[in-house]
Structure 1
Amino acid sequence: MPDHHRPPATVRDHTLRLLRELGLTTVFANPGSTEVPFLVDLPDDIDFVLGLHEGSVVGMATGWALARERPALVQLHTTAGLGNAVGALATARVNRAPLVVLVGQQDRRHLAHEPFLAGHLEGLAGDYPVAVHQPVRAQDVPGAVARAHHEAVQGRGPVLVVVCMDDWARPMDPDQPRAAPARVARPLHVAPDDAAATEIAAFLDGARSPALVVGAGADSAPAWRALTDLAERLRAPVFQESFGARAGFPQDHPLFAGHLPAERSRLRAALRGHDAVLVVGAPALRQYIYADGPLVDPGTRLAMVGDDDGEAHRGAADLAVIAPVAAFTAAVAALVDDRTNAPAPTRSGPAAGPDREVPAPPAEGEPLRPAHVLAALAARVGPDTAVVEETPSSRPRLHRLLPARAPLGFLSAAMGGLGFALPAATGLRMAAPTRPVVAVVGDGSALYQVQALWSAARYRVGVLFVVLSNGRYAVMDRLAEHGGGKAPWPDFPEVSLAALARGLGCPAVEVATHTELCRALDEATAGLAERETPLLLDVTVAPDPDFAP
């Protein structure tokens, strides 16, 4: 039974527990007032070593770390302490000594007024730290410390974590997802007998119902082959990360289970029943709309594999492996037990796989909707077509109706900022002049880099640009509606992408009906791989009625 009279665990409690797990139980310090809340009543199993100057503090920690061949823990006092330690931190970096350095900061509650002893700390040590973290919330401190430990090992140098003095007493949310992996493995050479590959294989073999999550970091032909082999041997469903900029698995494969939702409760529902989830080439697990609660249900364990250090260091996983994705996944696939005779996984929930049902053409007098356009396009393009997407309100429909069937078959902006698709599609076709390239873009998105059409026309780049024109920022309108508010921005139905394209030298066709759409697509997609001039289809659509952010 839970003890309802016990005060909730604090940021300090969680950080002390983490320091024990990481072996950081000796702290080298010359304390000041901003460090007192952490140091007072320090548990007996945490050893305190005093230095009479910060240079001595960091120097002792440097020698300790080099002798132990693992990170040492340092605590410094805001501006004065960090400033005094910079020379020693520079030495630690060049000596390749991994240090986790906690730097005190004034109370967060009046930091905006720059109280006495507040410091501008981020750039004070120059380029000598491997990284500097200033947690946005008090509850992010333990995750920042864990990340600093991984980065200090990887970067072989000091990593700073700036902690406001009042953060230590703040309560922790017990359901908050892990902000950094419990362990990070970095195999120097990927081989079938690699210890990390063996551990990941055991992680999957020990699961009753394993699942895979793939992302942009797995978008290559070797990675697709390795992941297909692994999924088929495990008989495991494969989910695409939410808001992935590229596809990490063939989305027409029977084991493809769809795109993960970008909201926490729906994410839990999608992965429910899977006791081991391996994330490959993707964050674990990035979301969009904030919601309380854990990322996955209790009993679901997460591991991740990727070649991006930063992505691994902030992953909510029990184990993160930093390794070449294709080679490491192939090694794991060779080690796992063969379950190919097991029943196929049952797919259900919000990411239950691609819906290939083609919508019926609109009835007489009904408007075209994005689904009609995407279905008509899907019926006319080949599996090697590269689809560059920038239509936020229609993206879920595009995923279902235009699955990526070859590496680089889907491309989108990883950061979510608009203005990507028109120039990116142009550059992609320049680099791959025999590959069919289609950009599917909202009219609002197209306006951010409409100038790219001039370059496509000038350099005879045969991209088909399909613009879904609804004369508004449809995704913003829907987000405002979901928030229960009224949007202050107006529509812009007078904007004509066809007119803008022609003014920039790019041929354009205006489309308003399903008949016109089919005719235009028939003409535009015939010989798309050989096309030498761009074409923009300005298709008037009404927003999809069932959009969900």
Structure 2
Amino acid sequence: MTTVRDATLAVLRRQGATTLFANPGSTEISLLTDLPDDLEFVLALHEGSVVGMATGWALARQRPAVAILHTTAGLGNAVGALATAQVDRAPLVVVVGQQDRRHLAFEPFLAGQRLDELVRPHAVWVCEPVRAQDVPGAVARAWHEADLHRGPAVVIVPMDDWDAEHDGAAEAAPVRSLRTAAADPAACDAVAELLTGSRSPALVAGAGADDEQTWAALVALADRLAMPVWQEPFGARAGFPQDHPRFAGHLPAGRAGVRSSLAGHDLVLVVGAAAFRQYPFEDGALVEPGTRIVVITDDPDEALRSPAELAVVAAPAAVCAELARRVPARDAAPADVRRTRVVAPPVAGEPLRPEHVFAALAERLPRETVVVEETPSSRALLHELVPARAPLGFLSAAMGGLGFGLPAAVGVRLGSPQRPVVAVIGDGSSLYGIQALWSAAHYGVGVLVIVLSNGRYAIMDRLAGGRGSATGTPGAAPWPAFEEISISGLGTSLGCESHRVVDHGDLTTVLDKVVPTLERRTTPLVLDVAVAP
């Protein structure tokens, strides 16, 4: 007899989706027990880490990863990570367990209540198959939904469905789906006309431009039009080589900063992002009067929420490569518009600061390194000092929630074991996903984890202090520091080699030893680096 489980596993094999990330519960036992040898099971110790690792794997492989979650408890724990996967454009097939279909009406122990409503805002597609026999087709469709829409596609499956007999019914999903990548001539004509008529265009690149073909197209277009290139604020990935002479830096996240940065440009071409992502609310326009905005993205939502004169929904690589061929070249030297900063090592007795750590990394990391960031209080310094020099050279949680960095770094290295992976994480951030270190140790994942330890939520302290009072005194934060926590001790307890680094000499010594091994490492290393608050 062919069971629903047999038919579903066949779907996963057909799509090459044979790595399963999970933290199992009782509602998944019938799916996971006696898993065939050709399927790889990867255990994470918390559902947030399950989804974070799957997200990193999917972005590294550029194909959907499979995450398995346990009814309300597991899905609830993972919702924040699913929101990050959605904003980070990570294709995930998410299978959520449910209690036995035959007594759901009685609301038994572990019955999931409105699981679809719990996850729907953070998914590109959600399905609760009407019959057990529809589960394989739903999983097949979820793979295509995740791939085409680049986000989590969720299938909710009662636990007894897996053992049901499959009736051989046709799957309500194609075997293959293809996304067209050709550039529409009419769209290219419209954008080319605006660019050609522009006096001083500028380019803003977003996470949706982070692939080899789009980088090449944007470099050609920027050079042809002599445009400065900015990175979108709070982007999950780098949309342009940040060591290129035309790279101008990261746009600020407030309207005044955006206006100031783009002042003097009469046209702004935004590629692979919306125009423009903000963080603090500020009054005023996004750009100066008379500045026109054009958006090119393959994400309809990004296009339609942008206050643009023209929005083109299409593959950015194809459109921008065609634009680089069409627009007239402008005669301008490729002046280096990026402002580089020199960071001197700390003098004797001076504490380490994040910029000392980043400068040491910048001097040593290979070009192809993936830097996974989750250090809110020093993110701007990291951007300034450690440029992304290859596609997927930078990865962050664009949604803004914590707990992504550690598991994502583990997932990236699992998905792309030939690339060096360095996670740069704040100690407060690390505690949201610290259990991912066990998975790194258990599965031999050679990731370097650098935790900047200042014993507090530095970004929150800074925001509270900035509030101030009517008398001009800084605002008081009610939360305490947590300096007694030992990140290196936690790393050791979870099976990782861990070191506490307290001065610049310690830092450079260990980096000189470790960085040359990153491509071939098969064990994780945690550096607990003491930095000044």
Structure 1 length-normalised TM: 0.63
What's the RMSD between the two structures over aligned residues? 2.1
One-letter amino acid matched to 1:453: L
Counterpart residue number, 2:408: 424
One-letter amino acid matched to 2:456: R
Q: How many residues align?
A: 355
**Is 1:527 aligned to residue 517 of structure 2?**
yes
CA deviation after TM superposition for structure 1 residue 343, in Å: 4.5
CA deviation after TM superposition for structure 1 residue 365, in Å: 1.2
Q: Spell out the pairing of 1:140-289 with structure 2 (5 A cutoff).
A: 190-191=182-183, 194-289=185-280
Counterparts of 2:307 and 2:477, CA distance in 1 = 35
Secondary structure, counterpart of 2:508 in structure 1? helix
C-alpha contact (below 8 Å) 1:236/1:345 kept by paired residues? no
Q: Percent identity?
A: 60
C-alpha contact (below 8 Å) 1:465/1:536 kept by paired residues? yes
Counterparts of 1:366 and 1:188, CA distance in 2 = 56
CA deviation after TM superposition for structure 1 residue 357, in Å: 2.5
Q: Spell out the pairing of 1:503-518 with structure 2 (5 A cutoff).
A: 503-518=493-508
State which of 307, 310, 314 in structure 2 corresponds to 1:323: 314
Secondary structure, counterpart of 1:203 in structure 2? helix
C-alpha contact (below 8 Å) 2:181/2:315 kept by paired residues? no
- Cα 1:316–1:504, aligned 2, differ >3 Å: closer, same or farther? same
Secondary structure, counterpart of 2:431 in structure 1? helix
**Is 1:450 aligned to residue 434 of structure 2?**
yes
Q: Which runs of 5+ in 1 are unaligned?
A: 1-122, 132-186, 348-352, 544-549
Q: Deviations over 1:344-376 (max 9, x none)?
A: 5685xxxxx3x4323111111111000001101
Counterparts of 1:524 and 1:188, CA distance in 2 = 43
Return the structure number with greater relative CO, CA threshold 8 A, min gap 6: 2
- Cα 1:479–1:315, aligned 2, differ >3 Å: closer, same or farther? same
C-alpha contact (below 8 Å) 2:245/2:334 kept by paired residues? no
Secondary structure, counterpart of 1:217 in structure 2? helix
Structure ID, larger Rg: 1
- Cα 1:357–1:189, aligned 2, differ >3 Å: closer, same or farther? closer
CA deviation after TM superposition for structure 1 residue 222, in Å: 0.2
Counterpart residue number, 1:369: 353
Counterpart residue number, 1:408: 392
Counterpart residue number, 1:32: none
One-letter amino acid matched to 1:436: P
Counterpart residue number, 1:393: 377
One-letter amino acid matched to 1:525: V
Counterparts of 1:189 and 1:224, CA distance in 2 = 15
One-letter amino acid matched to 2:223: E
Counterpart residue number, 2:531: 541
**Is 1:313 aligned to residue 297 of structure 2?**
no
Counterparts of 2:372 and 2:466, CA distance in 1 = 27
Counterpart residue number, 2:328: 337
C-alpha contact (below 8 Å) 2:224/2:324 kept by paired residues? yes
CA deviation after TM superposition for structure 1 residue 481, in Å: 1.3
One-letter amino acid matched to 1:259: H
**Is 1:436 aligned to residue 427 of structure 2?**
no
CA deviation after TM superposition for structure 1 residue 524, in Å: 1.5
Counterparts of 1:342 and 1:502, CA distance in 2 = 55
- Cα 1:536–1:230, aligned 2, differ >3 Å: closer, same or farther? same
**Is 1:465 aligned to residue 449 of structure 2?**
yes
- Cα 1:371–1:346, aligned 2, differ >3 Å: closer, same or farther? closer
One-letter amino acid matched to 1:284: A
CA deviation after TM superposition for structure 1 residue 189, in Å: 7.1
The ranges of structure 1 where at least 4 consecutive aligned residues each deviate by more than 6 angstroms after the TM superposition are none
Counterpart residue number, 2:365: 381
One-letter amino acid matched to 2:413: R
Structure 2 length-normalised TM: 0.65
Counterparts of 2:336 and 2:368, CA distance in 1 = 29
Counterparts of 1:346 and 1:263, CA distance in 2 = 25
Q: Spell out the pairing of 1:40-59 with structure 2 (5 A cutoff).
A: none
CA deviation after TM superposition for structure 1 residue 409, in Å: 0.2
C-alpha contact (below 8 Å) 1:216/1:247 kept by paired residues? yes
C-alpha contact (below 8 Å) 1:224/1:249 kept by paired residues? yes
Counterparts of 2:421 and 2:362, CA distance in 1 = 13
